[in-house]
């Protein structure tokens, strides 16, 4: 896909291991410099939350975004309850 898109704008890590493992992110990005991917070791921490891990010189951004599944579940429950309670 990267070839058909003429490169990448961003590589986003989210969910489970992608969010919590700096080592996994490091290993994934290791061989992707040809796509403009680079990771700043200081930013790439296991506790990084919603962070840009790229050095300023990188052509593509490497982001870690917390998935927040709990918020999406709560939003869907609220919508379902609102719809149910609105019925006569």
Bridge partners, residue 63, by sequence: 12, 52
Instruction: Please name the residues in contact with 67: beta carbons below 8 A apart, sequence gap of 6 or more.
Output: 14, 15, 19
**54 within some domain:** yes
d(CA 25, CA 19): 9
Residue 77: per-residue pLDDT: 93
Total domains, the chain: 1
Tell whether 3 is covered by a domain.
Answer: no
Prediction pTM value: 0.74
Please state, in angstroms and as integers, the Cα–Cα distance from residue 46 to each residue in 7, 9, 56, 74, following that order: 27, 23, 20, 26
Mean pLDDT of 9-28: 91
- Do residues 8 and 58 make contact, with C-beta atoms less than 8 angstroms apart? no
* Domain span holding position 82: 10-86
Q: What is the CATH number of the domain that holds 32?
A: 3.30.420.40
4 within domain boundaries = no
pLDDT of residue 19: 87
Per residue in 38-87, pLDDT tens? 999 999 988 878 999 999 999 999 999 988 888 889 999 999 998 888 87
Q: What is the pLDDT of residue 36?
A: 92
């Amino acid at each position: 896909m990267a070839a058909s898109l003429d490169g990448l704008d961003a590589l986003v890590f989210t969910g489970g291991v992608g969010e919590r493992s700096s080592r996994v992110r490091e290993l994934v990005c290791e061989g992707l410099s040809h796509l403009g991917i680079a990771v700043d070791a200081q930013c790439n921490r296991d506790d990084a939350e919603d962070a840009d891990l790229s050095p300023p010189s990188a052509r593509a951004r490497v982001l870690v975004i917390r998935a927040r599944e709990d918020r999406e579940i709560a939003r869907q429950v609220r919508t379902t309850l609102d719809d149910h309670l609105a019925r006569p």
